[in-house]
Amino acid sequence: MKTLEEIRSFFENDRFATENAMVIDEVADGYAKCSMLISERHRNAVGGVMGGVPFTLADFTYAVAVNHQEPKWVSLSANITFLGVTKGEKLIAEANVVKSGRTTNYYRVDVCDELGHPVACVTITGYSKG
């Protein structure tokens, strides 16, 4: 099993995630937890957090959960349901495996703010390239 520092080092190459301050907090088999601080560049015209922010965090968290040992999975499809507005200054995403097969998998990623308010639920179907 790779250490958290080895996993973080590998995912530094995910430039969009790292340039948007996404951090890998925890990793286990079929699970990852990532977070990010909200800045002004993440806000839309009316001051709320742009919908792509929790979606991108969820997608990155899925990628960490499935690729931290052997990078071979890609997202095949994803669906986001927005549950509420971000009230805090930090988003936290937790990816959990629902089903994992040889060539496809299915994950649920819950995104909330640091105050515990649910922001979004994302379901992702993945495909194995190897």
Residues 83-97 pLDDT 10s: 999 999 999 999 999
List alpha helices for the chain, DSSP H. 4-11, 15-19, 52-67
Residues 49-93 pLDDT 10s: 999 999 999 999 999 999 999 899 999 999 999 999 999 999 999
For residue 116, what is the domain's CATH number? 3.10.129.10
pLDDT at 4: 96
Residues 20-35 pLDDT 10s: 999 999 999 999 999 9
Q: Taking all residues of the chain, what is their mean pLDDT, rounded to a whole number?
A: 96
Structural domain total, the chain: 1
Q: Are 4 and 24 in contact (CB under 8 A)?
A: yes
Q: Is the pLDDT of residue 130 over 90?
A: no
pLDDT at 45: 95
Q: Are 112 and 95 in contact (CB under 8 A)?
A: no
Sign of CA dihedral 49, 16, 77, 108: negative
User: By residue range, what is the domain housing residue 72?
Assistant: 4-128
pLDDT at 93: 98
Q: Is the pLDDT of residue 1 over 90?
A: no
Q: Is the pLDDT of residue 10 over 90?
A: yes
Residue of 111, 19, 25, 20 whose CA lies nearest to 68: 25
**122 φ, ψ to 5°?**
-120, 130
Percent of the chain with pLDDT over 70: 100
Higher model confidence: residue 41 or residue 1?
41
Cα dihedral: 43, 49, 50, 51 (round 10): 170
Helix, coil or strand: residue 1: coil
